[in-house]
């Protein structure tokens, strides 16, 4: 699964302005936040060059992208300072809209849900013509004070809500949390049952007794001895193979 995130406007086009914010700045920030949240999933995510303006590139015939499965373009809305809420646009060619419905549903805990709408906006239409499904998010209204206050205080959660919507409806797997911690100097470790002493002393190759195994040890030094990585454990002043240790 490959996703392209696009920040609306930029490259000399600041987009809408409101409440002291420029749309082009907000779209760039939010795309990075969404990218951060998608890092928790098994998915390849690219960000369209943030120095460029995808809309201008489409109009100028300079919009060149790889093959993606999904394109997600971020914007902020503006109208009369009163209008508020979140909405997503897809092209008239799009069949399913379950991803987009999930995203606006997730965002409805922050903004009024204005729903999923259809319009052949330039970038997503171009993508659809290239065979790539896409959506254009109007996150909230930049000229509405209340929307922007919520956005500024909750933007990380908002990015997460968007990422969860994309991940759930596209069936992205969560990355497994790293469970194996590496043994380092000062690591607190336990010795696995059946371990033998390393090093070069007379104890080498002898079984570590259960009374020692039960204790927690501190790694003082690391070395490679006869091709085996070993740790010197401070409390017993003995070497034990790193493969026989579990970091706690």
Using CB under 5 A, list all residues that contact Zn ion: 8, 15, 75
Give me the residue whose beta carbon is nearest to Zn ion: 75
Closest by Cα among 37, 47, 71, 68 to 175: 37
Task: State the nearest-atom distance from the C-beta of 15 to Zn ion, in Å.
Answer: 5
Query: Distance between CA atoms of 42 and 162, rounded to whole angstroms?
Result: 16
Task: CB nearer to Zn ion: give 15 or 165.
Answer: 15
Task: CB nearer to Zn ion: give 48 or 239.
Answer: 48
Task: State the nearest-atom distance from the C-beta of 167 to Zn ion, in Å.
Answer: 25
Task: CB nearer to Zn ion: give 15 or 18.
Answer: 15
Judged on CB neighbours under 10 Å (0-12, 13-18, 19+), 103 is buried
Task: CB nearer to Zn ion: give 13 or 42.
Answer: 13
75 close to 15: Cβ distance less than 8 angstroms: yes
Task: CB nearer to Zn ion: give 22 or 160.
Answer: 22
Task: CB nearer to Zn ion: give 45 or 54.
Answer: 54
Task: State the nearest-atom distance from the C-beta of 149 to Zn ion, in Å.
Answer: 20
63 close to 73: Cβ distance less than 8 angstroms: no
Task: State the nearest-atom distance from the C-beta of 122 to Zn ion, in Å.
Answer: 11
Task: State the nearest-atom distance from the C-beta of 192 to Zn ion, in Å.
Answer: 58
Task: State the nearest-atom distance from the C-beta of 65 to Zn ion, in Å.
Answer: 19
Task: State the nearest-atom distance from the C-beta of 55 to Zn ion, in Å.
Answer: 9
Contacts of residue 129, Cβ cutoff 8 Å, sequence gap at least 6: none
Task: CB nearer to Zn ion: give 53 or 133.
Answer: 53
């Amino acid at each position: 699964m490959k996703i392209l995130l696009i920040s609306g406007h930029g490259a000399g086009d600041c987009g809408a302005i409101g409440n002291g914010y420029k749309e082009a700045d907000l779209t760039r920030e939010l795309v990075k936040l969404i990218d951060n949240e998608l890092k928790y999933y098994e998915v390849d995510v690219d960000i369209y060059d943030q120095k460029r303006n995808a809309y201008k590139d489409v109009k100028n015939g300079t919009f060149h992208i790889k093959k993606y499965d999904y394109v997600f373009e971020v914007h902020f809305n503006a109208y009369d300072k009163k209008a508020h809420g979140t909405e997503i646009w897809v092209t008239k060619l799009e069949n399913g809209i379950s991803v987009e419905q999930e995203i606006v549903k997730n965002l409805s805990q922050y903004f009024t849900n204005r729903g999923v709408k259809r319009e052949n906006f330039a970038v997503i239409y171009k993508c659809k013509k290239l065979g790539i499904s896409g959506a254009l998010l109007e996150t909230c209204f930049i000229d509405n004070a209340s929307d922007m206050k919520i956005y500024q205080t909750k933007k990380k959660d908002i990015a997460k809500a968007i990422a969860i919507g994309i991940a759930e409806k596209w069936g992205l797997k969560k990355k497994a949390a790293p469970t194996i911690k590496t043994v380092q100097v000062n690591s607190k470790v336990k010795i696995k049952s059946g371990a033998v002493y390393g090093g070069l002393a007379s104890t080498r190759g002898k079984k570590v007794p259960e009374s020692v195994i039960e204790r927690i040890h501190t790694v003082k030094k690391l070395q490679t001895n006869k091709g085996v990585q070993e740790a010197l454990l401070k409390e017993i002043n003995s070497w034990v193979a790193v493969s026989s240790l579990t970091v706690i």
